[in-house]
Amino acid sequence: MKKLLFLLTFALGTGAAQAQVKFETKSTDAVREMAIKQGKLVFIDLYASWCPPCRMMERQVFSRKDVGEFMDQRFVAAKYDTDKTTGRELMKRYGRDAIPLYLVFDTRGELLGRIQGAADAETFMDNLRTIIARQKPHKQQP
């Protein structure tokens, strides 16, 4: 009986983990390389552990299955703490001193758009769809 409960708990936990947004913590260059190989855009979450809206997004938006599937189809997602070097540097370059801040880049490193602050899941995905729709098609090399 204990084994059955353990397996059931493990299976449910694994399913929940697969349903949410999968964030990389590798270097920005490594994340960009992953996006190139997978034919996806780069999504960066700039957050801090002490930030209530950041924690709300983690609990209520990034944990949802529909958001996880939406993000996985379109992005290689990474997250960086603004209290650490990479997050601090990205915030200096692209931020406006408020978190959470979400950045979308193409594989050439061009900033396509930013989303400032927390939002419900539907609004967040709509904002991402708007950024994706503005993406310029790449010119083909002869």
Domain membership flag for residue 70: yes
Q: What is the pLDDT of residues 36-88, one digit of tens each?
A: 999 999 999 999 999 999 999 999 999 999 999 999 999 999 999 999 999 99
pLDDT exceeds 80 at position 89: yes
SS3 8: helix
Domain membership flag for residue 63: yes
Segments forming the whole domain that contains residue 127:
26-132
The residues that bridge with 23 in the sheet, in sequence order, are 77
The Cα 5–Cα 134 span in angstroms is 48
Give Cβ neighbours of residue 82 (< 8 Å, ≥ 6 apart): 46, 47, 48, 88, 90, 91, 95, 99
The Cα 120–Cα 108 span in angstroms is 30
Q: How many domains does the chain have?
A: 1
Q: What is the pTM of this model?
A: 0.82
How does DSSP classify residue 117? S
Domain membership flag for residue 141: no
Domain membership flag for residue 38: yes
Burial of 78 (0-12, 13-18, 19+ CB in 10 A): buried
Which residue, among 73, 80, 8, has the nearest Cα to 48 in the 3D structure? 80
Domain membership flag for residue 7: no
Write the CATH number for 111: 3.40.30.10
